């Protein structure tokens, strides 16, 4: 499963997950947290994809949404999540989505940062 957001981190997470799915020929579940559709055409043949769209105003707590969707999909073996670099002050702040998902996800999490 990959989490796609309206950020550079979300776009990079999607490209990483597509590459991982192609290499392993594993199905790809795209959790779309954006306000638009997500293009998965570059996945290519042989890899099944399914998109779950969650962009309702009630879905503002992205960490809860992500953890709910992973919990509903027993076939998920890995979660790909884009994370951003944080300042020392940002690291001390509680409530970060990436941190919460890393700590609470029931599956391994591949956290990716956009290359500089």
What is the rounded distance in angstroms from the CA atom of residue 21 to the CA atom of residue 90?
32
> What's the rounded Cα separation, in Å, for the pair 35 and 72?
22
Domain of 92, CATH number, reads 3.40.50.620
- The model's pLDDT over 75-98, given as tens digits with 9 standing for 90+, comes to 999 999 999 876 665 555 444 888
* Structural domain boundaries, residue 52: 2-112
Q: Are 35 and 8 in contact (CB under 8 A)?
A: no
Q: In percent, how much of the chain has pLDDT > 70? A: 91
Q: How far apart are CA 75 and CA 47, in angstroms?
A: 15
- pTM here is 0.87
Query: What per-residue confidence (pLDDT) applies to 45?
Result: 83
Overall number of domains in the chain? 1
Distances (CA, A) of 1 to 17, 37, 116: 8, 16, 25
Q: In angstroms, rounded to a whole number, what is the distance separating the alpha carbons of residues 106 and 71?
A: 8
56 pLDDT higher than 90: no
């Amino acid at each position: 499963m990959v989490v796609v957001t309206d950020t550079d981190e979300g776009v990079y997470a999607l490209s990483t997950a597509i590459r991982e799915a192609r290499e392993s020929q594993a199905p790809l579940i795209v959790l779309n947290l954006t306000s638009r559709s997500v293009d998965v055409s570059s996945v290519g043949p042989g890899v099944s994809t399914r998109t779950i769209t969650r962009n309702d105003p009630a879905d503002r707590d992205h960490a809860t949404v992500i953890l709910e969707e992973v919990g509903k999909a027993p076939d998920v073996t890995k979660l790909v999540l884009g994370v951003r670099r944080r300042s020392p002050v940002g690291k001390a702040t509680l409530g970060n989505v990436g941190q919460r998902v890393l700590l609470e996800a029931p599956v391994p999490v591949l956290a990716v940062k956009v290359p500089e």
